């Protein structure tokens, strides 16, 4: 069985591969699978975007490929209390340009300028979907924290250097990959997904 991750983000693919390494699965990104399909993330919820990506990519596969392939898709974003849940589904393009991490972080800091520590609560949210033949699993994962007043740490990507994790007592930018994976929103969503798979009587687990 193979899983195609609905992404070309090397960081994301690497995280998911690490989390799945104990299972006998071939894990591929879109480029590895030879798929050149850019799904527009135009839904108004994380789960809506995640499902749309998984469905369009699965439907793009040949009938033969669908027999032994699952498509794993997620939509992840940052929800800041003081900004009424923003940037939310626009997290990757908050500054107006997709995946401009530096620009997104600058805008977030500007929007929160003058707001004290106790008002900077935030959470990372991941909605995750796994689609296959007669398989449709949808789960969420969350991690709580707050937004720092400046970048802290060189690790991770996206908003990681600004997100102080309550679980770790440090920013995701300061955390090792193993530390982040142990508490991360994507990790928790994936754990929930794997629990669902293991209890799927039709599949008999892994």
Extract the annotated binding site for Mg(2+).
40, 75
Among 38-42, 72-76, 140-144, 146-150, name the one with the lowest average pLDDT.
38-42
**What's this model's pTM, rounded to 2 decimal places?**
0.85
User: Does residue 143 carry a pLDDT above 60?
Assistant: yes
Q: In sequence order, which ranges of 27-100 are alpha helices (DSSP H)? A: 46-60, 63-67
Instruction: Check if 75 is active-site.
Output: yes
The percentage of the chain sitting over the pLDDT mark of 90, rounded to a whole number, equals 72
User: What is the architecture, at CATH level 2, of domain 2-198?
Assistant: Alpha-Beta Complex (3.90)
Closest CA to 31 of 70, 52, 57, 1: 57
121-132/135-147 β-pairing = antiparallel
Residues constituting the chain: 206
Pick the catalytic residue from 36, 44, 59, 75.
75
121-132/2-5 β-pairing = unpaired
Residue 80's contacts (CB-CB under 8 Å, 6 or more residues apart) are: 86, 87, 108, 112, 120, 121, 122, 147
Q: Would you list the domain boundaries of the chain?
A: 2-198
Across the range 83-112, mean pLDDT stands at: 94
Whether the CB-CB separation of 132 and 45 falls below 8 Å is answered with no
Q: What is the pLDDT of residues 51-96, one digit of tens each?
A: 999 999 999 999 999 999 999 999 999 999 999 999 999 999 999 9
Extract the annotated binding site for substrate.
7-12, 76, 157-160, 180, 185-186
User: Does residue 200 carry a pLDDT above 80?
Assistant: no
User: What per-residue confidence (pLDDT) applies to 19?
Assistant: 76
Q: How far apart are CA 156 and CA 172, in angstroms?
A: 6
């Amino acid at each position: 069985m193979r899983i195609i991750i609905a992404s070309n983000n090397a960081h994301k693919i690497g995280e998911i591969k690490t989390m799945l390494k104990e299972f006998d699965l071939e894990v591929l990104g879109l480029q590895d699978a030879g798929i050149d399909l850019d799904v527009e993330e135009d839904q108004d919820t994380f789960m809506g975007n995640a499902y749309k990506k998984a469905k369009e990519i699965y439907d793009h596969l040949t009938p033969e490929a669908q027999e032994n392939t699952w498509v794993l898709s997620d939509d992840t974003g940052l929800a800041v209390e003081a900004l009424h849940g923003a940037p939310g589904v626009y997290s990757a393009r908050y500054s107006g340009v997709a995946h401009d991490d530096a620009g997104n972080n600058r805008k977030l800091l500007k929007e929160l300028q003058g707001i004290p520590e106790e008002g900077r609560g935030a959470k990372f949210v991941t909605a995750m979907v796994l689609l296959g033949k007669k398989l449709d699993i949808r789960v969420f994962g969350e991690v709580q924290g707050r937004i720092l007043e400046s970048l802290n740490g060189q690790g991770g990507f996206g908003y990681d250097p600004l997100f102080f994790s309550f679980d770790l007592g440090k920013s995701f930018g300061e955390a090792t990959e193993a530390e982040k994976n142990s508490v991360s929103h994507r990790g928790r969503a994936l754990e929930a997904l794997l629990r669902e798979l293991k209890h799927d009587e039709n599949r008999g687990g892994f």
